[in-house]
Structure formats: structure tokens, C-alpha cells
């Protein structure tokens, strides 16, 4: 009965959202937990987790556009080290974790809510998301 | 002993914060959990959860003003579908979940912290927030 | 076996990030939990929790710069009461809670991820962060 799993994958864009819903749902199903929570955590200080619509690609593109607009590249103190100050700021603002309820053995997402890994400093050969399932008791 | 509950309510504004603290506190009390966490989750990809001051309406109004300022309506790729691209972006940036500690049978909020549901695409006849209580062990 | 603890400390800046990683790690170690989560919560509606890089001070400075840029002081309705409307907005946008996985008795942070308390209305004599450890089962 797997209750914690590290999901790994590669990213092919510098900035982009990657849908990890099916991986999280698989783990919830495998856990056989009826009621509880699934904690989803992005390892890496230039990445984040966002619950967002997945009808098509448009909202995902808009997220990248918005973050570039409010956090432009090239103007940060940290750029003198890695030239990725904007990536860290985007990650910090969106946040590394989201917690999703488990209701009757299923994720408590609404119809249009999916779970996305946000890449802000890609492409990367290996990214990691930790999913931890906690039963109500 | 209720440990998970879906709170439902209607919203009457297009953008607005709704205080759901008393509902969450009721569930914490009913759970008889001494120490643990309460996970609060907004179902719906145009809504979010924010911990914020509730002295009066001013901060709630300021949240709406700020988000309109940094995420203006009408300029997003998603607007071609639903004309609510800004609502999705606001929801993604604020975030769908917050986790509140339970300390000695009570919510671990500070004096001025309340729990708000953020509506970004209202009014809606029915909105849902899932509260899940997890005991320390 | 401590499973919940209130970390207290003072802050000496009006806006600044304070690294609380070692306190959280100590509690995780003391809990002897092999697999689970650590919920980290900032008490106070002008403060927040952010997972961020800690290579040096630069990203922390950039976070303060960014938030001042998108949430300038002195223009909010709430300023008529406390003159700290910007502090509440920063706190709401960053968020009061983050949840970190516990993997094999250790925090599931990546190499460069640390846990920061964000002060937005300091200096303060006493700030409080609640850490709650939840075992997988």
C-alpha cells in the first residue's frame, strides 16, 4: 500500500505547466484511503505546484505570460549568480505545496481543476514531485 | 464524529472575499481532535483560500483591488473561451488550499487571522469548500 | 515525542525573510516519524511562509524588492486604520502555510530549498510559527 511516492519526469520548456493529475490520482487509488488528504510538493526552488484549469492550453500559457509580466527576468540581485532570479521569485510566489482532499477514495478536485507542476527554470532532465497520502485516521 | 465536510454557500459578487472561519471552527470542535491540522480546499478553478485580517472590510476590498491591478481582465488567451482568464490566474496565484493547525481543540489562528473563500468569477449559486481534519496520530 | 511545536522568535526588519529550517528539521527528527508531512503555519496576518533558496541573501532581498514593486505601500483602503495595508496583502499573496513531506525521517526539501518566515510588518518582539508533524498512519 504505497502512501508516499516521488514522481519524476523531464521538462522541455524554460517556463511551462505540466499536468501531473493522473499520477496523483493513481497514488490516491493505490492507497485505498477513503477520506483524507494528498499533499503535493515540488522539490526544487525554481518550481511550484498550482491547481488550475485544464480545458485546453490557454490558461497554462496565460500563467506563464502573467508571471513574466509581474516578475521580469534580468533585474534581480540573484541574477549575478545564476541569472535565474525571476525563476526563484515565481516559485516562491506560486508556492511549493498544495493539499488536495480525498473524498470517497477519489481526489476532491472539481470538474475543471487539475494539478500542475510549474517549471520556471527548464528544461530539466529530472524534476521531482513528492505526493504523500494521509488518511483521516 | 465528522472529520471531513463540504461547506456550501452562494456568492453575490463577481470578486469578493467570504469569511468561512466559523464553519471551519465548528468542524474542528465537532471533531474533538486535540492536536493536528485542518486542510481547507476551494473546489473550482476560479476560486481560492486566503488567510487574512477581518477587523473590517478594508483588507478584503484591498485584496480585490490588488488582484485587479496586477491581473487586469480582458487581455488573456483564455478570454476567447470564457472571458474569465483573469479569474483563473487570480485563483492560481492565491492558491486553492491552506492548512491550519489545531492546538488544544482550537484552530491555531492568531487574533486577527480569519479564513476566507475568494470568489473571482461570481456571483455563483453554489460554491464548495472541503475541510478535512487530520489528528496528529 | 513532540509532534506539534510553536516556534517563537523576534524580527529586526520591517520586511525580511528569516530562515526557520533548522527548527523544523529538529522537530521532524524529534518526532521519529519515518514518512508523513510537516505543516508549517505563520500566525499573524502580516506574515507568511515561503520555501526559497538559501545559497546567500540575494533571493531573500529580491523577494522583498518584488513584493514592494507589485504591492506598493500607502495606497490601500486599510492604510487609514493601521497604515500597513501592503503588509496584509503581501501575507495573503504569499500564503500562511506550506506543507513539507517527511521522507525516511528527514524533510523532503531539495538541496537548495529552505523554509522561511516572511516578515512584512516588523520589527516585532515576538513572532510565532506552528509546526505540526503528521505521520503517514
- B52-107 pLDDT, tens per residue? 998 889 999 999 999 999 999 999 999 999 999 999 999 999 999 999 999 999 99
β-pairing verdict for A113-119 and C16-19: unpaired
- Structure ipTM: 0.97
Report the run of H or E that residue A20 belongs to, with start and end: none
**Cis peptide, bond prior to residue B59, ω within 30 of zero:** no
Q: Mean pLDDT of all residues in chain A?
A: 96
Of A37, A53, A93, the CB nearest to B39: A37
Neighbours of C114 (CB within 10 A): 23
Question: In the complex, which subunits touch B with 3 or more CB pairs below 8 angstroms?
Answer: A, C
Q: State the nearest Cα–Cα gap between A14 and chain C, in angstroms.
A: 19
Using the structure block, give the residue that is written with the C-alpha cell 493539499. Answer: A99
Q: State the nearest Cα–Cα gap between B58 and chain A, in angstroms.
A: 23
pLDDT digits (tens, 9 = 90+) for C3-62: 999 999 999 999 999 999 999 999 999 999 999 999 999 999 999 999 999 888 999 999
Q: What is the DSSP string of chain C?
A: ---EEEEEEEE-SSSEEEE-HHHHHHHHHHHT-SEEEEEEEEESTTEEEEEEE-SSSHHHHHHHHHHHHHS-TT-STTHHHHS-HHHHHHHHHH-SEEEEEEETTEE---TTEEEEEEESS--EEEEEEEEEEEE--
Distance (Å, whole) CA C85 – CA C76: 6
| Average of per-residue pLDDT across A63-77 | 98
Interface of C with B in 23-42 (CB under 8 A): 39, 41
Which one-letter DSSP state was computed for residue B135? E
Judging contacts by C-beta atoms under 8 Å, the chain B residues touching residue A136 are 3-4, 132-134
What's the predicted TM-score (pTM) here? 0.98
Whole-number pLDDT of residue A56: 87
Q: Which of B122, B128, B49 is nearest to B92 (CA)?
A: B49
- A89 vs C95: CB contact, 8 Å cut-off? no
**Closest Cα in chain C to B104:** C4
- Cell numbers given for C8: 517563537
Contact A77, A83 (CB under 8 A): no
Amino acid at each position: 500500500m504505497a502512501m508516499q511516492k516521488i514522481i519524476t519526469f523531464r521538462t522541455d520548456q524554460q517556463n511551462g505547466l505540466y499536468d501531473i493529475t493522473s499520477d496523483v490520482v493513481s497514488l490516491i487509488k493505490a492507497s485505498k484511503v477513503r477520506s483524507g488528504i494528498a499533499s503535493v510538493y515540488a522539490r526544487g526552488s525554481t518550481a511550484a505546484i498550482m491547481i488550475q484549469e485544464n480545458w485546453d492550453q490557454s490558461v497554462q500559457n496565460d500563467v506563464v505570460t502573467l508571471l513574466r509580466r509581474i516578475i521580469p527576468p534580468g533585474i534581480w540581485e540573484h541574477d549575478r549568480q545564476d541569472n535565474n532570479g525571476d525563476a526563484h521569485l515565481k516559485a516562491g510566489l506560486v508556492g511549493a505545496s498544495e493539499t488536495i482532499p480525498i473524498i470517497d477514495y477519489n481526489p476532491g478536485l472539481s470538474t475543471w481543476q487539475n494539478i500542475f507542476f510549474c517549471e520556471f527554470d527548464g528544461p530539466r532532465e529530472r524534476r521531482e514531485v513528492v505526493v504523500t497520502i494521509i488518511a483521516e485516521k
